[in-house]
C-alpha cells in the first residue's frame, strides 16, 4: 500500500518536526493537537507549532511550499481528517493511558488499511496495543524518530508478529524513500537500540569522569574525536540534550530494564548535576550547563569544575594520551595515566554493553552500528570500533579484569566483526558465522564499488569510477573536496574518455559535502606570491572544463549532497541535469571571500533566469535577481530552495535518502542517453552601463543603512560589470564567451585587491566571512 497522506497527532517539537519532514517529502500531512483550555482559537497548539517552525533555525521545513502541505487542527473537531490518511503517527506525552485513549479515537476514525504508529521512546509496543482490537494491532508499529526529525537520519522501527509483511514494507519504504531515513529494525525492548546504548554510554562517561577526577574538557577530548564521536563529547552533548531530561530518561530506563541489566550499576545519583538542574543550569536552553558563557565577564567561556562545583574559565584540554596515541586506539586505552584509564573504563563498559545488546535489542551487529552512526553521529559504530581496537585484545583484557564476556565477543575469537569476502561486506553473527550485508534495492554506493574496483582515472584530487551500464562517476577526493587544478584537469580527461568509451557521466561523491568550492588556501598563496598568470590560467582552465561538461556529446548529471558552494555550484549549473539530495546547500558564495564566480557561474545563473518564462520582460529583472543572489552570497538551504533559485530546473530530481542518491543520478543519466543532444549555447541581451548604474544605486542604498560594507561595494561593482554585460547595450547580442571573459577580467581585478585577500585569509583561518 502506498502512503499518500499522513496524520501526525501531537504538535510538540517532535510531532511538528515529523509533520514538517513528511511535508518536505511533498506528502500532505494533517497535524493535530489538543484544544487548550479556554482557548479562543481551538487550533492554537498546532498552528503555533507550524508558525514557530517557520522561524526555527536550522529550519524544519525545506521550503515555504512544504509548510503549505500541513493542515492544522485539533483532536476534538478534526478527527474526520484522519479518514483519508494512510499513516497516522502518534507523538503525544509518554503516558500509556493517554496514548491508549487516543488510539481508541484514532481507531474510530481511521480507514481500515491505515497504519498507526507511535513515536514512543520508552513504552513497549506490546503494552501499547494491549486491549486494542486485533485489526488495530495488525496495523500498529513503533516509528521512533530522532530530534530534529529533518536532520537526524535514524528511524528505529519496531514491529510485531501481528503486522503483515505488506504493512512493514509500506512503512519502511515510506520512511526510507520519502522521509530519507535509515530504517533500523529493533526489537521491542526499552530504549530500542540507540538510546539504550547511548544513555548507558553517556551516564557511564559522566559517572566515571567524577570517579577518575577528570576535567570536563579532558573527558570531552577523550570521549570525542579519538573515538570518532562528535567533538561535543559527553558533557557538551548533555548540554545540548538538556541536563534536566537525563533524570527522567534514566528513571524510565531503570524502571523498564531487567534488574540484572548493567545500566543499574551506572545509574548513580550525581549531586552536582542535581544541583545544577535546580539552579537552572539545564544546558544550552537554560543558563548554561557544564559549559556556559559568563556574560558578566564579557562572554567568558566557562566550565564547571566537577570537584568543586564552581565555574572557572574554560581551558583547552591537555591530554598527552591523545597526542601520544595518535590514531592508535589501543595505545590510548593503555596509556598509563588517569586519562588512559578513564578512556578504557568508558570504552570497556560501552562496548561490552553494546555487545550484550546483540540478541536483546537487535538481532545483528550491523543494526547497532548503524543506529549509533545515524542516531548519535558516531563515525564508527561500537563493533567497528572493536575491529579497530582488535577484538581479541579487547576480550583478553576484559577477561583479565574479570569482566563478563557477552556471547558475540566470544564468537569473535580470532576474528573481526566485519570482513570483506569476494567484494561483499559481511558481518559476524552470534553463531560465529558471517552473513553478507545486502544493500536494499536502489541503493548504490561508491564505498561498495571501491571494494571491488580500481578507479578508471585518478590523480591527487579526484577519481573516476565505472558504476556500470556505461556510466562513469567523477569523485572529488581532495582535502574537504576542495576544487583545484588537478580536478579541472581530470574533468577534461574524463570528458574525453566518456566520449570515447562510455555513455554518461555522474558527478558525485560520498564526502560530508559535495564541495565547499575552490581550494582557497592554494588560491590565496598564489595571489600572495603574485602568481597572476597561474591564477588567470586556472580561471581559464576551469571555464574550459565546465564548458566542456556542458557541451559534451553525452549527458552529465551532478548529484550533490551537503554543501555545493562556489565552484561546486558552478559544476551543477553546467550539468545537463541535477539529482540533488534533499539536504543540499547550494549557492554562489564567492563574494564572501571578496571574489565573484569565475567558472561560468554568473553566465549560467543569468541564462537560467533569462529563460524563465515567469520573469517580467525587459533588460533588468533577470539581471537584478541574479545580482541579488550572488551579491548576498545566497545559499539555498535545501534542494527545494535551490529549485526556487532556478539552480535546479524542471526535470531535475530530489532524492530524500542519501544512500539512494547515486542510484537515482545514474538512472537519470541513463534516461537522458537516448537521443541526447547537447544544449544550445545561450545568447545574452544585457543592459550595459545604465543597468550597472541601477545596481550601483541599490548597493549604495544598502551601504547607507550599513548593510553593505566598504569592500562589498567594490565586489558588487565587479559583479555588476559582469551581469550587465560590460560596455554593451540591450539591443546587442552577447555570446557566453563574452560573459566568461567578463568573469575572468573581474575575477582577476578582485583577486589582486588586498581587501579580498584579507577576506580569503579570514575565511581560511576562522571559517567565518570578514565584513571589511
Closest CA to 682 of 603, 765, 767: 603
- Shortest Å distance, C-beta 529 to other proteins: 5
Q: 646: alpha, beta or left, given left = phi > 0 and alpha = psi -120 to 50?
A: left
* Residue whose CB is less far from other proteins, 118 or 482: 482
- Shortest Å distance, C-beta 189 to other proteins: 49
Residues that bind other proteins (CB under 8 A): 520-521, 524-532, 534, 754, 757, 760-761, 764-765
Closest CA to 348 of 334, 364, 369: 334
* Residue whose CB is less far from other proteins, 347 or 763: 763
Residue 49 C-alpha cell reads as 507549532
- Shortest Å distance, C-beta 324 to other proteins: 12
Residue 321 C-alpha cell reads as 594520551
The CA distances from residue 267 to 86, 250, 279, 560, 607, in Å, are 41, 7, 22, 44, 62
- Shortest Å distance, C-beta 748 to other proteins: 13
* Residue whose CB is less far from other proteins, 193 or 760: 760
* Residue whose CB is less far from other proteins, 528 or 612: 528
Residue ranges of E strands in 527-671? 556-559, 562-565, 577-581, 584-587, 635-636, 653-655
Report yes or no: 736 and 603 within 8 Å, Cβ to Cβ. yes
Burial state string for 174-198 with b = 16 or more CB within 10 A and e = fewer than 16? bbbbbbbbbbbbbbbbbbbbbbbbb
**Three-class secondary structure of residue 407 per DSSP:** helix
CB atoms within 10 A of CB 113: 11
- Shortest Å distance, C-beta 318 to other proteins: 9
- Shortest Å distance, C-beta 531 to other proteins: 5
* Residue whose CB is less far from other proteins, 529 or 697: 529
Q: State the Rg of the chain over Cα.
A: 28
Residue 416 C-alpha cell reads as 573481526
* Residue whose CB is less far from other proteins, 396 or 479: 479
Separation of alpha carbons 641 and 191, rounded Å: 36
* Residue whose CB is less far from other proteins, 171 or 488: 488
Q: Bridge-partner residues for 362, per DSSP?
A: 358
Q: Pairing relation of β-strands 70-74 and 87-90?
A: unpaired
Report yes or no: 344 and 334 within 8 Å, Cβ to Cβ. yes
* Residue whose CB is less far from other proteins, 444 or 535: 535
Residue 274 C-alpha cell reads as 542535581
Cis peptide before 2 (omega within 30 of 0): no
- Shortest Å distance, C-beta 756 to other proteins: 12
Report yes or no: 270 and 210 within 8 Å, Cβ to Cβ. yes
* Residue whose CB is less far from other proteins, 361 or 518: 518
* Residue whose CB is less far from other proteins, 393 or 525: 525
Closest CA to 139 of 119, 159, 156: 159
- Shortest Å distance, C-beta 597 to other proteins: 21
Residues in CB range of 741: below 8 A, 6 or more apart: none
* Residue whose CB is less far from other proteins, 185 or 758: 758
Residue 710 C-alpha cell reads as 566598504
The CA distances from residue 550 to 446, 502, 543, 693, in Å, are 24, 16, 11, 32
* Residue whose CB is less far from other proteins, 620 or 764: 764
- Shortest Å distance, C-beta 710 to other proteins: 13
Task: Give me the half-sphere count of Cα atoms (radius 13 Å) on the Cβ side of residue 375.
Answer: 27
- Shortest Å distance, C-beta 758 to other proteins: 9
- Shortest Å distance, C-beta 763 to other proteins: 10
Q: What single DSSP character describes residue 25?
A: T
Separation of alpha carbons 483 and 519, rounded Å: 5
- Shortest Å distance, C-beta 757 to other proteins: 7
- Shortest Å distance, C-beta 771 to other proteins: 16
* Residue whose CB is less far from other proteins, 435 or 460: 460
Residue 237 C-alpha cell reads as 552533548
Separation of alpha carbons 591 and 267, rounded Å: 52
Task: State residue 562 phi and psi, 5-degree precision.
Answer: 75, -150
Amino acid at each position: 500500500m502506498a502512503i499518500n497522506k499522513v496524520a501526525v497527532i501531537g504538535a510538540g517539537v517532535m510531532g511538528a518536526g515529523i509533520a514538517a519532514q513528511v511535508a518536505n517529502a511533498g506528502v500532505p500531512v494533517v497535524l493535530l493537537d489538543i484544544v487548550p483550555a479556554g482557548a479562543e482559537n481551538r487550533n492554537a497548539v498546532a498552528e503555533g507549532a507550524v508558525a514557530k517552525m517557520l522561524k526555527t533555525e536550522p529550519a524544519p521545513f525545506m521550503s515555504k511550499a512544504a509548510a503549505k502541505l500541513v493542515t492544522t487542527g485539533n483532536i476534538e473537531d478534526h478527527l474526520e481528517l484522519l479518514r483519508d490518511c494512510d499513516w497516522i503517527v502518534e507523538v503525544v506525552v509518554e503516558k500509556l493511558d493517554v496514548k491508549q485513549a487516543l488510539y481508541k479515537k484514532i481507531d474510530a476514525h481511521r480507514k481500515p488499511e491505515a497504519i498507526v504508529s507511535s513515536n514512543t521512546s520508552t513504552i513497549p509496543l506490546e503494552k501499547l496495543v494491549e486491549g486494542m482490537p486485533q485489526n488495530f494491532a495488525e496495523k500498529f508499529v513503533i516509528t521512533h524518530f530522532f530530534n530534529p526529525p529533518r536532520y537526524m537520519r535514524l528511524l528505529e522501527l519496531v514491529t510485531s508478529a501481528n503486522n503483515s509483511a505488506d504493512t512493514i514494507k509500506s512503512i519502511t519504504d515510506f520512511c526510507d524513500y520519502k522521509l530519507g531515513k535509515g530504517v533500523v529494525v529493533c526489537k521491542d525492548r526499552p530504549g530500542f537500540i540507540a538510546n539504550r546504548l547511548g544513555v548507558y554510554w553517556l551516564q557511564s562517561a559522566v559517572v566515571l569522569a567524577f570517579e577518575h577526577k577528570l576535567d570536563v574538557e579532558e573527558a570531552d577530548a577523550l570521549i570525542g574525536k579519538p573515538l570518532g564521536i562528535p567533538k561535543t563529547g559527553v558533557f557538551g552533548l548533555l548540554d545540548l540534550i538538556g541536563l534536566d531530561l537525563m533524570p527522567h530518561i534514566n528513571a524510565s530506563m531503570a524502571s523498564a530494564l531487567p534488574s540484572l541489566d548493567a545500566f543499574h550499576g551506572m545509574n548513580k545519583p550525581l549531586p552536582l548535576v542535581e544541583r545544577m538542574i535546580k539552579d537552572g543550569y539545564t544546558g544550552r536552553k537554560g543558563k548554561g550547563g557544564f559549559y556556559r558563557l559568563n556574560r558578566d565577564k564579557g562572554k567568558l567561556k566557562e566550565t564547571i569544575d566537577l570537584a568543586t562545583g564552581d565555574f572557572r574559565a574554560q581551558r583547552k584540554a591537555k591530554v598527552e594520551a591523545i597526542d601520544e596515541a595518535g590514531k592508535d586506539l589501543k595505545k590510548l586505552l593503555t596509556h598509563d595515566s588517569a586519562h588512559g584509564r578513564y578512556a578504557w573504563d568508558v570504552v570497556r563498559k560501552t562496548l561490552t554493553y553494546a555487545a550484550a545488546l546483540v540478541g536483546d535489542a537487535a538481532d545483528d551487529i550491523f543494526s547497532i552500528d548503524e543506529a549509533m552512526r545515524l542516531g548519535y553521529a558516531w563515525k564508527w559504530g561500537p563493533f567497528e570500533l572493536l575491529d579497530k581496537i582488535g577484538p581479541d585484545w579487547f576480550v583478553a583484557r576484559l577477561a583479565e579484569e574479570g569482566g563478563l564476556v557477552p556471547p558475540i565477543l566470544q564468537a569473535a575469537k580470532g576474528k573481526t566483526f566485519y570482513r570483506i569476502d569476494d567484494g561483499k561486506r559481511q558481518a559476524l553473527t552470534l553463531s560465529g558465522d558471517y552473513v553478507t550485508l545486502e544493500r536494499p534495492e536502489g541503493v548504490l554506493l561508491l564505498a561498495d564499488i571501491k571494494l571491488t574496483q580500481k578507479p578508471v582515472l585518478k590523480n591527487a584530487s579526484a577519481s573516476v569510477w565505472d558504476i556500470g551500464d556505461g556510466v562513469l562517476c567523477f569523485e572529488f577526493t581532495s582535502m574537504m573536496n576542495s576544487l583545484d587544478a588537478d580536478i579541472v584537469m581530470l574533468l577534461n580527461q574524463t570528458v574525453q574518455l566518456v566520449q570515447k568509451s562510455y555513455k554518461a557521466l555522474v558527478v558525485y561523491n560520498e564526502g560530508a559535502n559535495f564541495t565547499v568550492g575552490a581550494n582557497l588556501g592554494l588560491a590565496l598563496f598564489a595571489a600572495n606570491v603574485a602568481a597572476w598568470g597561474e591564477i588567470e590560467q586556472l580561471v581559464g582552465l576551469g571555464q574550459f572544463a565546465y564548458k566542456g561538461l556542458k557541451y559534451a556529446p553525452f549527458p552529465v548529471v551532478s548529484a550533490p549532497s551537503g554543501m555545493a558552494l562556489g565552484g561546486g555550484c558552478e559544476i551543477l549549473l553546467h550539468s545537463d541535469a541535477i539529482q540533488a539530495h534533499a539536504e543540499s546547500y547550494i549557492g554562489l558564495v564567492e563574494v564572501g571571500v571578496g571574489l565573484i564566480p569565475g567558472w561560468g557561474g554568473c553566465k549560467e545563473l543569468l541564462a537560467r533566469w533569462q529563460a524563465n518564462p515567469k520573469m517580467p520582460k525587459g533588460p533588468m529583472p533577470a539581471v537584478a535577481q541574479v545580482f541579488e543572489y550572488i551579491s548576498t552570497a545566497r545559499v539555498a538551504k535545501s534542494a527545494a530552495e535551490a529549485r526556487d533559485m532556478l539552480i535546479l530546473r524542471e526535470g531535475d530530481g530530489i532524492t530524500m535518502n542519501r544512500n539512494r542518491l547515486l542510484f537515482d543520478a545514474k538512472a537519470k543519466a541513463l534516461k537522458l542517453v537516448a537521443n541526447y543532444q547537447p544544449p544550445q549555447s545561450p545568447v545574452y541581451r544585457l543592459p550595459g552601463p545604465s543597468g550597472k548604474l541601477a545596481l550601483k544605486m541599490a548597493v549604495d542604498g544598502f551601504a547607507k543603512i550599513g548593510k553593505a560594507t566598504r569592500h562589498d561595494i567594490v565586489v558588487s561593482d565587479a559583479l555588476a560589470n559582469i551581469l550587465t554585460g560590460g560596455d554593451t547595450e540591450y539591443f546587442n547580442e552577447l555570446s557566453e564567451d563574452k560573459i566568461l571573459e567578463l568573469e575572468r577580467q573581474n575575477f582577476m581585478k578582485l583577486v589582486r585587491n588586498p581587501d579580498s585577500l584579507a577576506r580569503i585569509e579570514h575565511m581560511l583561518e576562522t571559517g567565518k566571512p570578514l565584513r571589511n
